[in-house]
A and B are shown apart, each in its own frame.
Chain A
Amino acid sequence: MTRPKHVEVRDLRLAYGTKEVIHGITFDIHRHEILGVIGPAQSGKTSLLRCLNRTIDFTPEAHVSGIVKVDGEEVRRTRDVYGLRRKIGMVAPLPVGLPISIYDNVAFAPRCAGMSRKADLDAIVEQCLRQAALWEEVKDRLSSLGTKLSGGQQQRLTIARALSHQPEILCLDEFSIAIDPVTTMRIEDVLKELRSHMTVILVTNLTQQARRLADRTMFLWNGDIIELDSNAVIFSDTPKDRRTHDYVNGIFG
Chain B
Amino acid sequence: MKPDTPALFTETALVRRKYRQETVAKWVFFVMAAAMIIPLLLIVGYLMVKAAPSLTLGFLLDVPVRGMTEGGIWPAFVGTIYLVFISLAISAPIGILAAVYLNEYARDNWFNRVINLAVINLAGVPSIVHALFGLGAFVYAARFGYSILSASLTLAIMTLPVIVASTREALASVPRSFREACWNVGATRWQTIRAVVLPNSISGILTGVILQVSRAAGETAPIMFTGAVFYKAIEKGDLFAYGLHEQCMALSMHLYTISTQVPGVKESIPYATAVVLLGSVLLVNAAAIALRVYMRSRTKW
Chain B residues whose CB sits within 8 angstroms of the CB of A145 once the complex forms? 300-301
**In the complex, are the beta carbons of A165 and B177 less than 8 A apart?**
no
A92-B180, A92-B181, A99-B178 as given contacts; A83 in contact with B186, CB under 8 Å = yes
Q: Chain B: interface residue count, which band?
A: 20 to 34
Find the B residue at minimum CB distance from A80: B186
A99, A164, A165 interface centre (most CB from chain B within 10 Å)? A99
Instruction: Name B196's closest neighbour in chain A (CB-CB).
Output: A98
Mark interface residues in A60-95 (1 if CB within 8 Å of B CB, else 0): 100000000000000000000011111001101010
Q: In this assembly, does A158 line the interface, its C-beta being within 8 Å of a C-beta of chain B?
A: yes
Kindly list chain A residues whose C-beta atoms are within 8 Å of the C-beta of B199: 99-100
Picked from A58, A99, A104, A161, the residue with its CB within 8 Å of the CB of B185 is A161
Question: Could you tell me the distance between the alpha carbons of A176 and B261 in the complex, rounded to whole angstroms?
Answer: 75
Answer yes or no: B173 CB below 8 A from chain A CBs. Answer: no
Q: Is the pair A113, B181 in contact by a Cβ cutoff of 8 Å?
A: no
B31-39, B82-90, B187-195, B277-285 - the one binding chain A: B187-195
Given contacts A55-B180, A96-B178, A147-B301, contact A164 B196 (CB under 8 A): no
Nearest CB to that of A109 among chain B residues?
B185
Q: How far is the CA of A96 from the CA of B185 in the complex (A)?
A: 13
Q: A231 on the interface (CB 8 Å rule)?
A: no
Asked if A235 lies at the interface with its beta carbon under 8 angstroms from chain B, I say no
Closest-by-CB residue of A relative to B179 is A58
Shortest Cβ distance from residue A131 to the other chain B in the assembled complex, whole angstroms = 15
Which size class do A's interface residues fall under? 20 to 34
Q: Is chain B's binding surface mostly helix, strand, loop or mixed?
A: helix
Q: Chain B 265-301, CB within 8 Å of chain A: the 1/0 string?
A: 0000000000000000000000000000000000011
**A219 interfacial by beta-carbon distance below 8 Å:** no
Interface residue B107 (Cβ < 8 Å from any Cβ of A): yes
Pick from B108, B180, B188, B301: contact of A112, CB under 8 Å:
B188
Chain A neighbourhood of B188, CB < 8 A: 82, 112
Give chain B nearest CB distance to A48 CB in angstroms: 15
**Docked-complex contact B185 and A108, CB < 8 angstroms:** yes
A182 to chain B, nearest CB (A): 25
Inside 8 A of A86's CB, which chain B residues have their CB?
185-186
* CB-contact partner of A147 in B108, B187, B300, under 8 A: B300
The 8 A CB mask of B197-232 against A (1 = contact, 0 = none) is: 001100000000000000000000000000000000
- Which single residue of chain B is at the shortest CB-CB distance from A90? B184
Give chain A residues whose Cβ lies under 8 Å from the Cβ of B185: 85-86, 89-90, 108-109, 112, 161-162, 164-165
Give B95-133 as 1s and 0s: 1 = Cβ < 8 Å from A's Cβ atoms.
000000000000110000000000000000000000000
Would A162 and B300 count as touching, CB distance under 8 A? no
Partner of A96, one of B177, B186, B191, B200: B177
Q: Is residue B19 contacting chain A, with contact meaning CB distance below 8 A?
A: no
Within A147-170, which residues are at the interface with B (CB < 8 Å)? Answer: 147, 158, 161-162, 164-165
Give Cα A162–Cα B300 distance, bound, in whole angstroms: 21
In the complex, the answer to whether B183 meets A55 with C-beta atoms within 8 Å is yes
- Tell me the nearest residue of chain B to A61, going by C-beta: B108
Contact of B195 among A55, A100, A165 (CB under 8 A): A100
Pick the contact of B186: A58, A97, A98, A165 (CB < 8 A): A165
Known contacts A60-B107, A108-B195, A158 near B183 by CB under 8 Å: no
Query: Which of chain A's residues have a CB closer than 8 A to the CB of B108?
Result: 60
| Across-interface contacts of B301 in A (CB, < 8 A) | 97, 99, 145, 147
A217 lies within 8 A of chain B by Cβ: no
A94 and B177 form a contact (CB under 8 A): yes
Listed A/B pairs (6) with beta-carbon separation below 8 Å: A55-B184, A60-B108, A92-B181, A104-B195, A108-B185, A164-B185
Closest 9 CB pairs of A and B: A99-B300, A109-B185, A85-B186, A86-B186, A147-B301, A90-B184, A96-B181, A82-B186, A112-B187
A108-B187, A145-B301, A165-B185 given; 12 more Cβ-contact pairs under 8 Å: A53-B184, A92-B180, A92-B181, A99-B178, A99-B200, A99-B301, A100-B300, A112-B185, A112-B186, A112-B187, A112-B191, A164-B185
Measured CB to CB, the residues of B under 8 A from A are 107-108, 177-178, 180-188, 191, 195-196, 199-200, 300-301
